[in-house]
Chain A
Amino acid sequence: MAANIGNALKELLDTGWKLDGIPTNETEFNEMFSIQTGTDEIDTAIFSNNLDDFGITWEQVSAKAIELEAAKEAKETQKETDQANGNQKLLDLGLTQAEATALTGYTPPEE
């Protein structure tokens, strides 16, 4: 969940930003977050911690983080299902589990 705050900001923003810590609520987010408002003459990023400059809210960020986490879990679940189904098809063809594992590297979880 924590890493997805950064991933959520990546998905939601097309400008620079900075997060000094890992926020878990709106108050922490508003304290830790800064948005890039420009660069100086030597290309150093200029950040603002002013809420009026954010263009994004904790509600949006946390919702996107939950969405990304759910998508990640669904992807991992689907991968496990595909592995088990593929393994079963190999067994149905007459291979032993040792032969199937040798081919795919997949070992079924112990019952």
Chain B
Amino acid sequence: MAVTISGDGTITGISAGGLPDGCVDNDTLANSSVTVNGTAISLGASDTITAGKILQVVQVFDDAYAQTGSSGGTSWVDVISGSITPSSTSSKILITGHITTGQNTAYGAAVRIVINSSSDVGTAAAGGLANRLKGHSVGTHGSNTHDCTTYPITYLHSPSTTSSTSYKLQVGARDQAQWAKNGPWDNNDSSMWYRAQGTTCLQLWEIAG
């Protein structure tokens, strides 16, 4: 095929591979298109790279100390919450974070993830035992009320919506036990007692599906 240069500014007839290697540089590309820089690819307004890309991240952090007394083994208490609005129904939400608690007894505590305040995710049913705490993650630190435990949370959720979606981490303590958030139950530090304290954190990562 013959190469034709038209008076309207177009060139036709160039075969694939017909240009010398490296002759098209970044400046040749139109604005808002792909820019190649070493190993990085910068996308313009016409963003089309999809699966696996992190689209947005929401983080909620809490280091405030609090104490809670439970009224029963199946009662869950809100600890931290965050919301994210997915940009696509195919997006996944990666939930990461951690919770720190200090129990007043040797009994453990469980953490569960709740979506839109209406259902828990990542946990199975209570196995037919109404009083069993079925958490996503559990922790205990023995009988010492001067210490606390940090336990992690990781879960990949498919909300299948572009509406704002809320995620909460809740704690349930065994047998009406008391517990503290972000520190040990006994928190009266003095010159003799330097007790370790912790934090609670929740991150919501929208990942392109």
Q: Which residues of A contact B (CB under 8 A)?
A: 1-7, 9-10, 13-22, 36, 39-45
Contacts of A7 in B (CB 8 A): 104
Whether A6 and B67, one on each chain, are in contact in the complex, defined by CB atoms closer than 8 angstroms, is: yes
Binary contact readout B148-188 vs A (1 if CB under 8 angstroms, 0 otherwise): 00000000000000000000001010000010100001111
In whole angstroms, what is the CA distance A13 to B176 when docked? Answer: 11
Binds A, one of B74-82, B83-91, B196-204: B74-82
Structural contact, B75 and A36, CB atoms closer than 8 A: yes
Pick from A4, A14, A20 the residue with the most CB of B within 10 Å: A20
In contact, B117 and A16 (Cβ under 8 angstroms): no
Whether the pair A44, B78 counts as a contact (CB closer than 8 A) is: yes
**In contact, B104 and A44 (Cβ under 8 angstroms):** no
Question: In the complex, which range does the number of interface residues on chain B fall in?
Answer: 20 to 34
Nearest opposing residue in chain A for B68, CB measure:
A18
How many Å from the CB of B73 to the closest CB on chain A? Answer: 10
In the complex the two chains form, is B77's CB within 8 Å of A42's CB? no
Q: Does B39 contact A (CB under 8 A)?
A: no
Whether A16 pairs with B118 at a CB distance below 8 angstroms is no
**Chain A residue at minimum C-beta to C-beta distance from B73:** A43
- B71→A19 contact, CB < 8 A: no
Binary contact track B114-142/A, C-beta < 8 Å → 1, others 0: 10011110000000000000000000000
Q: In the assembled complex, how far is the CB of residue B127 from the closest CB belonging to chain A, in whole angstroms?
A: 15
Q: Which residue of A lies closest to B119 (CB)?
A: A42
How far is B173's CA from A18's CA once the two chains are assembled, in angstroms?
13
Contact B119 A22 (CB under 8 A): no
B72 partner residues in chain A, CB cutoff 8 A: 16
Q: Does B35 contact A (CB under 8 A)?
A: no
Residue pair B104, A20 in contact (C-beta under 8 Å) = no
- CB neighbours of A20 from chain B (8 A): 64, 66
Q: How far is the CA of A19 from the CA of B74 in the complex (A)?
A: 20
Which of A5, A6, A39 is the one whose CB lies under 8 Å from B75? Answer: A39
